[in-house]
Amino acid sequence: MEVLGIDIGGSGIKGAIVDTVSGEFATERLRIDTPQPSKPAAVAAVVGEISAHFNWQSAIGCTVPAVVKRGVTMTAANIDSAWIGTDAKSLLEKETGNPVIVLNDADAAGIAEMRFGAGRERDGLVAILTLGTGIGSSLFIDGRLVPNTELGHLIIRGKDAEERATDRARQERGYSWKQWGKRVSEYLEYLESLITPDLFIIGGGVSKRYQKFFPYIKCKTEIVPARLRNRAGIVGAAVAAIDLV
| Residues making contact with ligand BGC (CB under 6 A) | 65-67, 75, 77, 104-106, 130, 134, 136, 150, 152, 162
What residue number has its CB nearest to ligand BGC? 134
Instruction: Tell me how far, at minimum, the Cβ of 78 lies from ligand BGC, in Å.
Output: 7
Q: Is the CB of 40 or the CB of 136 nearer to ligand BGC?
A: 136
Instruction: Tell me how far, at minimum, the Cβ of 29 lies from ligand BGC, in Å.
Output: 18
Instruction: Tell me how far, at minimum, the Cβ of 41 lies from ligand BGC, in Å.
Output: 21
Q: Is the CB of 13 or the CB of 66 nearer to ligand BGC?
A: 66
Q: Is the CB of 138 or the CB of 185 nearer to ligand BGC?
A: 138
Instruction: Tell me how far, at minimum, the Cβ of 1 lies from ligand BGC, in Å.
Output: 26
Q: Is the CB of 3 or the CB of 67 nearer to ligand BGC?
A: 67
Q: Is the CB of 17 or the CB of 64 nearer to ligand BGC?
A: 64
Instruction: Tell me how far, at minimum, the Cβ of 57 lies from ligand BGC, in Å.
Output: 29
Contacts of 10 (CB under 8 A, 6+ apart): 34, 38, 65, 77, 78, 79, 133
What does the DSSP assignment read for the chain?
A: -EEEEEEE-SSEEEEEEEETTTTEESS--EEEEPPSS--HHHHHHHHHHHHHHTT--S-EEEEESS-EETTEE---SSS-GGGTTEEHHHHHHHHHSS-EEEEEHHHHHHHHHHHHSTTTT--SEEEEEEESSSEEEEEEETTEEETT--GGG-EETTEETHHHHSHHHHHHHT--HHHHHHHHHHHHHHHHHHH--SEEEEESGGGGGHHHHGGG---SSEEEE-SSGGGHHHHHHHHHTGGG-
Instruction: Tell me how far, at minimum, the Cβ of 245 lies from ligand BGC, in Å.
Output: 25
Q: Is the CB of 129 or the CB of 223 nearer to ligand BGC?
A: 129
Give the closest residue to 105 by CA, choosing from 148, 167, 70, 143.
Answer: 148
